[in-house]
């Protein structure tokens, strides 16, 4: 008998997000990039609903330039400890998810 397998974490959860306390309203509701504050187009990258420390939902979204930079950092950090990514030809859901996120393909 095998137990339940934990669902993979969404790749956006690997990106370090800024403290929502210091963000503008437009950033909290996803109308502007949470990193550079640029007004976002409809196809901006959705990082998924989050909760502030006091339990309020916020909706981080980001522009492609910022997302790609953060994803590259997260990939580098991930590869430092991921046993799958040390062997480059083994598929890794986390690595693939991060790459898809950088291209706006993940939801
Ligand atoms: Zn940005
Ligand atoms: Zn990996």
For residue 18, being part of any structural domain is answered with: no
* 14 C-alpha to ligand 1 centroid (Å): 17
For residue 11, being part of any structural domain is answered with: no
For residue 3, being part of any structural domain is answered with: no
Question: What band does 107 get if pLDDT is binned at 50, 70 and 90?
Answer: very low
- Ion ligand 2 residues within 5 Å by Cβ: 82, 84-85, 92, 94-95
Q: What is the 3-state secondary structure (H, E, C) of 16-54?
A: CCCCHHHCCHHHHCCCECCCCCCECCCCCEECCCEECCC
- Output helix, strand, coil percentages for the chain, rounded to the nearest 5: 40, 10, 50
Structure tokens at 36: 């550079």
For residue 79, being part of any structural domain is answered with: yes
pLDDT for res 105: 52
For residue 12, being part of any structural domain is answered with: no
For residue 14, being part of any structural domain is answered with: no
For residue 82, being part of any structural domain is answered with: yes
- Nearest ligand, measured from the Cα of 37: 1
**66: domain range?**
23-102
Question: What band does 61 get if pLDDT is binned at 50, 70 and 90?
Answer: very high
Q: How many domains does the chain have?
A: 1
* 9 C-alpha to ligand 1 centroid (Å): 23
- What backbone phi and psi angles, to 5 degrees, belong to 55? 90, 5
């Amino acid at each position: 008998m095998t137990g339940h397998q934990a669902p993979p974490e969404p790749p956006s959860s690997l990106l370090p997000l800024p403290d929502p306390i210091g963000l503008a309203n437009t950033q909290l509701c996803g109308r502007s990039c949470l990193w550079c504050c640029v007004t976002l187009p409809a196809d901006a990258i959705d990082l998924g609903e989050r909760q502030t420390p006091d339990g309020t939902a916020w909706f981080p979204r980001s522009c492609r330039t910022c997302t790609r930079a953060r994803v590259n950092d997260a990939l580098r950090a991930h590869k430092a400890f991921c046993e799958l990514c040390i062997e480059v030809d083994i598929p890794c859901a986390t690595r693939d998810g991060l790459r898809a996120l950088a291209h706006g393909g993940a939801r």
